[in-house]
Amino acid sequence: MSRGRFITFEGVEGAGKSTHARLFVEALKERGVKAHLTREPGGCPLAEKIRALILEEREDPPVPRAELLLMQAARAQHVDRVILPKLEAGVWVVSDRFYHSTLAYQMFARGLDPGFTRAAIEYAIDGAHPDATVILDLPVEEGLARQGERNRMEDEGRAFHQAVREAFLSLAAEEPQRIHLVDASGSVEEVRRRVMQTLEPLLKDAGRPGREEVADRSGEEGSLR
Ligand SMILES: Nc1ncnc2c1ncn2[C@@H]1O[C@H](COP(=O)(O)OP(=O)(O)OP(=O)(O)O)[C@@H](O)[C@H]1O
Ligand SMILES: [Mg+2]
């Protein structure tokens, strides 16, 4: 059986990550590809509990270092319990956020130590790099106006969200082979078409064997820069 592919959706608040991750999973299923929709932080029972600790409004919110470490604890559990077992079983995994959010929010926008942040991510993912990442790009005000799921991050000021957007743009520039920047403005249908066009080359491989080639590639591109 060929291994599944791992696709992640990233972007600022309200960019359309949840919408387009879901629509992409539906498109995969329509083509007969087994697919699993998941999200971060979260994606399995323990990680969902950690998500609530991080994102819910509380009197004693985690300090930035605690936020980074809690996210990586949730991620390690999600990778080992869900992502890797599904991929090994031939299921495609589509995640609404993954580690590029940690790089954008905790490392760039909160200014945490880049060496430590990248090392903590590597430790948490244990080699589970996405095959492709879609970054949905949208001006901050438009995203906040779309009213996605409200959480603690949305209370941050405009400058914070602007820094997150710029971080995603620079991450996309760092890894153009694997990260696809998609304009998230316009209607859901317009964005859906752009996403499908972007991921079309991966869809052509759906159902074909050939994960050896992916294993080779992960060796080549497998480190965070
Ligand atoms: N292209 C679009 N045009 C208009 N509205 C959209 C578009 N994409 C998504 N929406 C709507 O905007 C809201 C936010 O979308 P969605 O929840 O997918 O974004 P998100 O990136 O997951 O947000 P969050 O960061 O809050 O989780 C939803 O109500 C959704 O229906
Ligand atoms: Mg969402």
pLDDT tens column, 87-134 = 999 999 999 999 999 999 999 999 999 999 999 999 999 999 999 999
Q: How far is CA 198 from CA 65, 148, 223, in A?
A: 35, 23, 23
For tokens 């905790």, what's the residue?
106
- The answer, yes or no, to whether any atom of ligand 1 lies below 6 A from the CB of 130, is no
If residue 216 lies in a helix (H) or strand (E), which one and from where to where?
helix 211-221
Question: Once rounded to an integer, what is the mean pLDDT over residues 136-157?
Answer: 86
Q: Tell me what pLDDT residue 157 has.
A: 87
Question: Once rounded to an integer, what is the mean pLDDT over residues 174-185?
Answer: 97
Position 156 confidence tier, pLDDT thresholds 50, 70, 90: confident
Closest CA to ligand 1's atom 28: 148
pLDDT tens column, 201-210 = 998 867 554 4
The answer as to whether 207 is a domain residue is yes
> Percent of the chain beyond pLDDT 90?
82
The answer as to whether 1 is a domain residue is no
The answer as to whether 225 is a domain residue is no
The answer as to whether 184 is a domain residue is yes
The answer as to whether 164 is a domain residue is yes
* Distance between Cα 88 and ligand 2 center (Å): 26
Residue 41 tokens, joined: 């932080």
pTM value is 0.91
Q: Tell me what pLDDT residue 204 has.
A: 82
Residue 19 CA: nearest ligand 1 atom is 18
| DSSP states of 13-68 | TTSSHHHHHHHHHHHHHHTT--EEEEESS-SSHHHHHHHHHHHS--SSPPPHHHHH
The answer as to whether 223 is a domain residue is no
Q: CATH code at 179?
A: 3.40.50.300
The answer as to whether 222 is a domain residue is no
Closest CA to ligand 1's atom 23: 14
The answer as to whether 224 is a domain residue is no
Are the beta carbons of 105 and 161 closer than 8 angstroms? Answer: no
Position 216 confidence tier, pLDDT thresholds 50, 70, 90: very low
In DSSP terms, 9 is beta-bridged to 96, 134
Closest CA to 169 of 131, 198, 139, 196: 139
> What domain count does the chain have?
1
| DSSP states of 159-192 | HHHHHHHHHHHHHHHH-TTTEEEEE--S-HHHHH
pLDDT(168) > 90: yes
Give the structural domain span for 129. Answer: 6-217
